[in-house]
Structure 1
Amino acid sequence: MSSLVRRVIVLCVDRDNDVGERLGVPTPIIGRGNVLKVATEYILRYPDDSDANAMFGAVQLYDTLISTLVPRMWRSLLSQGGPAPRTLLRT
């Protein structure tokens, strides 16, 4: 399968921009280590917020994928959303 896949991105979208507003962290946050650092800081400040779970879930998915396919094919990223949801796929 790795010969068919050129690049895949693990994308975690913070639609309401809690991470950006609460931590003052500009997005996108690129790279596993950077996302993990922000997720850890965020959960320590806001342990009841689901955004932290989403970030840790993205890191876990990244780790699962990187252990099964070629490491250079993957990138993790956290991005903020806008004031209103946007359509990502059009038919």
Structure 2
Amino acid sequence: MAEAQRRGSFEMNCPDAKATLLSSETMQPEVRTFVYTGPERAVYNVGVSGCGKRTTYVVICPDNGDNACFDGGSRTEVQED
């Protein structure tokens, strides 16, 4: 969620923006073979609001032990409250 909070804070020009977890799910690997299986991924939908604005982000975290998450490009436009 920290990824989405930082991005939302920057895009909304609102240092006090707060993130809220809206939903989460686990995605199975797209590649599954006898030799190789990709990592499962946690997918989070996160709402960010503050300074009279709000938006949502999709954050994807592969379960491969490196704690690297990707704040995907999928989001709603920043909306005025």
Same fold (TM over 0.5): no
- Structure that is richer in strand per residue: 2
TM-score interval, smaller chain: under 0.3
- Structure that is richer in helix per residue: 1
Of the two, which has the highest radius of gyration? 2
TM value normalised by structure 1: 0.25
Larger RCO (CA under 8 A, 6+ residues apart) = 1
